[in-house]
Amino acid sequence: MLDLKSLNTILFSNKESELKIAIKKISDQFEPEKAKNILAYAKTYNSNLLTEVDKLSKIVSDEEIINQFYNSETISPFFGFSSFKHLEEAKKSISQVQINTVKKNYSKLEIKNKELANAKKSSNSSVAQKLEQEIGKLQASLNNSPSQTALKILQHDIAKEQYVKSFKLSKLVADYIEENNTFHVGLKDHLIHKHAYDIIICLGGEVTQNQDIIAKLQNFLSDKGFLRATKPLHDAFSDFYLPKNKQNITLKKWQELISKHGFDAMKLFAIADRIEAKKAQNTEMQYIAPENLQDAIFIQTQLTYAKANEYSELAELALKYKLSEESFNRCLEIEKQKKNFDNLPNITIHGKDLDCKLESGTSLNGYHLVKLPINDLRAYILGDIVKDCQSIGGNSERCVIDGITRENNGFYVLLKNKNSAKQNAEIFTSDGKIDYQNFDIVGQAYGWLSNSGNLVLDSWENLRNEDEATKALNDDETIIPILQEFAKQVCNTTNIDRVVVGLGGKTPKKFKELEIKFPEIILEGFSYGDAKEQALIWQKPELTELENKINGYITKTEYKFELNRIDRAKALLDLIENEPNFSDFLNNSNHNLLKLLNLSAVSTDLKNFNYEYFKEFSNLNLNIIKRLVDDNRALEGYSKKFFTLEKLKDLPLDKIKILTQRHKFNSYEQNIFNFDDLKDLNIEEIKLLTSSTSIEGYENKYFTFNDFKGLNTKKIKALRGEEAVNGYSKEYFIFDELKNLDTALIKMLVSDEARSGYLDKYFTFDDLKNLDIDLIKVLTDRNNFINKGYEKQLFTFNDLKVLNIDTLKILTSSNILEGYEKQLFTFNDLKVLSSDKLKIATSPNIIDCYQLNYFKFKDFVELDVEKMQAIYDNIRGCQRVLSEEHCTFNDLKNVDPNKIKALTESIVILGYKSKYFTFNGLKDISLEKIQTLTSKEALIKYGNKDLKFEDFKASLEIADDHKTEMSEVSSFTDLVINNHEENVDIIGRDL
């Protein structure tokens, strides 16, 4: 575990006793070479550290660290001032006495606020009233302008000091412990500066904070579990990002949330500005901090899902598991169809009640198998919880919907106690909900009743099953005895004769040993492949006894009958015992025919249990017998006369399978289509025309089966897909309006994006149908923020449809919409610009300049394209010279475009900050002279006071007066810069 206390000591302590203890701890914790490097680094910064190791020859100085602190603060500071210059100017307006007074009053205010909270908690109204009066006076003393300036200075100086300490600590950790200080896009120690800045943002800058920043970091990392990681600093801050408009947020409130909630609050910080802006909607303020973490999460759901307010609890769950907005909206629709009860057995198994010892020694204590309550919203995302596809938006979405809406389908979950000390905690709360404060879902199954009345678990999906060798992380061994006890109790307490589990998905391999011959068939809902093969978990002993009696009569062929229901087993046994011809028939049948007869016995109505019915199968040839055995659904359709054996015999097996699927039989019964309509189609066409969405369309009379005759597969897909059927149901369009259009156009017009626009009345089907496909794609694309623009009436569909696609994409991009909302410019301002000006004027960095008041949109676009381009090409430098007030926009706009780069280079800005020269002192000089006067070598000489800017400039002017060629000026420049003894004026006269 990372020991920040010892590292803090060796870096900053001056106490010999503390240093000795810390040195020993580091020597004990690390290998000799690593310990030596750590101590050498610390000794370089801390002269009080007395060790035999040599200090490093080169370090990052405090001045360099502070410069980087200001770089982080430049555009919009968290801690008061974006530059040392601004800080110094502020200090001129206020005395140190005032600063000390403000610090004292601020500390008192913090104490009084805590006392007030305690008084209110204990209902001591008289004390509370007195404290409120005192707080009011203190607050008034701090609200005036000088006090606010003093507070900013205090906060800034504290944060700067903490940044230096955090940098030194972070570099030690990154270089010698985590070993991840890699070079990053031209910036040395990039990761270190990020960590240092992140630390003070999360934990620093508080005026009254008594605890050392590194000690506070140690406590934070420990409390939130990061210290146990291999790379604690990296893991704590790798996904921590700053908000775009950081000057607008209430940092103190976010620090409180981060200190209390750790990573849950840290991940919200990246959108803190958006959260506060959303919180302030419909108020007179622009930004308001969230009241608590729950409030922040609630606002995040509103930012993520437009319909979050319709079901806030569901929105928070969807957000946690990263459901798309489309999936969330589907959940809202499914909620309207949710069942009120279901027919699945409600049985709970407690692991501690089982008399079972596992090979691995894992205890079953703390495990519980329960039926998921029908009002439990986790039904939508069980797959996300256990890492499979059974979630809305996943491949098994249909079974999620069936489990939520159908009365013969549902879910079972394996729960694990979060806290071993609470083994006896109640699973369900008083309102029948699972107590997720104390329990986690670690496994789950989609359950359904079969057409024979038995219970099927489609598969069993454990969260922890990846590591076969590490049983502590593998619940596959755990679930087997729990499922067996569950199935036993189901059979003992209900009319269900057996419980089986599908062998697909992540079902434990152990169940493969118990595979059954004839899988159960789902009673209602869509059948997935996970239960194509099934294993017996448990069946009633009476059913086993009946099977044994039946098989006792079959003596000539080695075949064992397997039955799925007690009444069927009794009927078959009665036929064997009371019909001698049938008994002889069984004993004279081959293995394949017996298997077919067995299949018929488990899938046929009891009324067909007679000798003549079974005897009919003996006339079939071997190939048909095999086909019927391979697909047990065929017998049900045969018994209902949907087809004849003659029609089946020449069809390929894959076509027989698809034509005899159980949900097809419902359509045959309703005369939506019949067997003969389908048998000559190819497999893909059959699948498309008999899918659940197609059936929905037939049943609701959106189209008929015959409407698709003669259409190609691609057009069929487009006309009967979920998107199209949804559009028919909402009456956005009808089948006849679509069928003659190009397939690609149909796809665009029925897409989720287009239907969303129809719903919100931003445009209609008729508005779109005659437009170019590429234009429709842009006009309806929800990912490009157009919908937001429609919603906020920043522009209309008619405004956009006349634009070319490139211009349209620019005018509806995220940062442009933000510009409209902040009234930096309007849609009409932009649409009249030339394409060259538009691209420059709407680039993110230029928009930042409008927002930060470096210059206004209208002033910028009045410039010619060449000058706009020059500013854009050098925007970082231009932002710096404007924010640090080295020049004004009027100064900048009047400069020759060719000089802008030279006047805004980083090294030149360093010269401005060091007061070697000024922007206005350079702007009227030729480009060649600017480059010479601001070269790295020249700045070194200015810094060493070997040379003055004015002298050097005068010398170059002398060179001009003597009409010296540029090559000679270059040589002259070298002579001036490299000469330590000669006087500049003498050199100029000699020339």
pLDDT tens per residue across span 972-988: 455 555 543 444 443 33
Q: In the prediction, which pLDDT does 983 show?
A: 40
Q: In the prediction, which pLDDT does 471 show?
A: 44
Instruction: State the alpha helices, DSSP H only, in 772-843.
Output: 773-780, 786-791, 797-801, 805-811, 814-821, 827-831, 835-841
* Closest to 852 measured CA to CA, from 67, 77, 42: 77
Q: Per-residue confidence at 608, pLDDT binned at 50, 70, 90?
A: confident
- Of these ranges, 46-55, 570-579, 616-625, 649-658, the one predicted with the greatest mean pLDDT is 570-579
Give 259: exposed, middle or buried? Use CB within 10 Å, 0-12, 13-18, 19+: middle
Task: Kindly state the average pLDDT of the residues 893-901.
Answer: 94
pLDDT digits (tens, 9 = 90+) for 295-338: 999 999 999 999 999 999 999 999 999 999 999 999 999 999 99
- In this structure, are residues 635 and 599 in contact, taking their beta carbons and an 8 Å threshold? yes
Q: Is 369 helix (H, G, I), strand (E, B) or coil?
A: strand
Query: Is residue 465 over pLDDT 70?
Result: no
Q: In the prediction, which pLDDT does 725 show?
A: 94
Query: Is residue 421 over pLDDT 70?
Result: no
* Closest to 660 measured CA to CA, from 754, 755, 527, 761: 527
Comparing 660 with 663, the larger pLDDT belongs to: 660
Instruction: State the alpha helices, DSSP H only, in 291-391.
Output: 293-304, 312-320, 325-335, 382-386
Q: Per-residue confidence at 658, pLDDT binned at 50, 70, 90?
A: confident
Task: Kindly state the average pLDDT of the residues 746-758.
Answer: 92
Q: In the prediction, which pLDDT does 985 show?
A: 43
Q: How far apart are CA 727 and CA 753, in angstroms?
A: 11
Q: Which amino acid is at 965?
A: E
Instruction: State the alpha helices, DSSP H only, in 510-556.
Output: 541-552
Number of neighbours of residue 85 by Cβ within 10 angstroms: 16
Task: Kindly state the average pLDDT of the residues 465-482.
Answer: 70
Q: In the prediction, which pLDDT does 470 show?
A: 46
- In this structure, are residues 169 and 237 in contact, taking their beta carbons and an 8 Å threshold? no
Task: Kindly state the average pLDDT of the residues 591-600.
Answer: 88
Q: Tokens for 58, please give them.
A: 């080169």
Query: Is residue 443 over pLDDT 90?
Result: yes
Query: Is residue 782 over pLDDT 80?
Result: no
Q: Per-residue confidence at 356, pLDDT binned at 50, 70, 90?
A: confident
Q: In the prediction, which pLDDT does 962 show?
A: 63
Q: How far apart are CA 666 and CA 53, in angstroms?
A: 85
| Cα angle value 364/368/374 (rounded, 5°) | 165
How many helices (H) and strands (E) the chain has is answered by: 59, 8
pTM check: above 0.75: no
Q: In the prediction, which pLDDT does 961 show?
A: 67
Q: In the prediction, which pLDDT does 744 show?
A: 95
Which long-range CB contacts under 8 A does 417-423 form with residues at least 24 apart?
417/366, 420/366, 423/352, 423/365, 423/366
**Which run of H or of E encompasses 493?**
helix 476-493
pLDDT digits (tens, 9 = 90+) for 100-150: 888 888 888 888 888 888 888 888 888 888 888 888 888 888 888 888 888
pLDDT digits (tens, 9 = 90+) for 815-834: 888 889 889 999 999 999 99
Q: Is the dihedral of CA 800, 806, 811, 813 positive or negative?
A: positive
Task: Kindly state the average pLDDT of the residues 600-615.
Answer: 82
* Closest to 897 measured CA to CA, from 871, 878, 879: 871
Query: Is residue 454 over pLDDT 90?
Result: yes
Distances (CA, A) of 628 to 599, 634, 680, 780: 9, 6, 20, 50
Q: In the prediction, which pLDDT does 727 show?
A: 94
With pLDDT > 70 as the criterion, what percentage of the chain qualifies?
Answer: 94
Question: Mean of the per-residue pLDDT values for the chain?
Answer: 88
Which long-range CB contacts under 8 A does 606-610 form with residues at least 24 apart?
606/567, 606/568, 606/571, 608/639, 609/568, 609/571, 609/572, 609/575, 610/575
Phi, psi torsion values for 434, nearest 5 degrees? -70, 135
* Closest to 414 measured CA to CA, from 343, 356, 462: 462
Task: Kindly state the average pLDDT of the residues 636-657.
Answer: 79
Q: Per-residue confidence at 76, pLDDT binned at 50, 70, 90?
A: low
Q: Which residue has the tokens 């909402």?
A: 730
Q: In the prediction, which pLDDT does 935 show?
A: 92
Instruction: State the alpha helices, DSSP H only, in 742-785.
Output: 743-750, 752-759, 765-768, 773-780
Q: Which amino acid is at 484?
A: Q
Q: In the prediction, which pLDDT does 963 show?
A: 56
Q: What is the DSSP string of 597-661?
A: HHHHHHHS-GGG-SHHHHHGGGGS-HHHHHHHHH-THHHHHHHTTSS-HHHHTTS-HHHHHHHT-
Query: Is residue 548 over pLDDT 90?
Result: yes
Residues 6+ apart with CB under 8 A from 261: 293
Q: Is the dihedral of CA 47, 71, 82, 877 positive or negative?
A: positive
Task: Kindly state the average pLDDT of the residues 533-537.
Answer: 96
Q: In the prediction, which pLDDT does 987 show?
A: 36
Task: Kindly state the average pLDDT of the residues 690-703.
Answer: 93
For residue 127, how far is the Cα from the chain centroid?
Answer: 48
Helices 692-699/713-720 angle, 10° precision = 60
Q: Per-residue confidence at 956, pLDDT binned at 50, 70, 90?
A: confident
pLDDT digits (tens, 9 = 90+) for 502-528: 999 999 999 999 999 999 989 998 877
Q: In the prediction, which pLDDT does 75 show?
A: 60
Q: Widest CA span of the chain, in angstroms?
A: 135
Classify residue 422 by its DSSP letter. Answer: G
Q: How far apart are CA 83 and CA 495, in angstroms?
A: 79
Query: Is residue 620 over pLDDT 80?
Result: no
Q: Which domains does the chain have, with CATH numbers?
A: 4-45 (no CATH), 62-238 (no CATH), 349-538 (3.40.630)
Q: Tokens for 282, please give them.
A: 């419909």
Q: Per-residue confidence at 966, pLDDT binned at 50, 70, 90?
A: very low
Beta-sheet pairing, 367-371 with 349-350: antiparallel
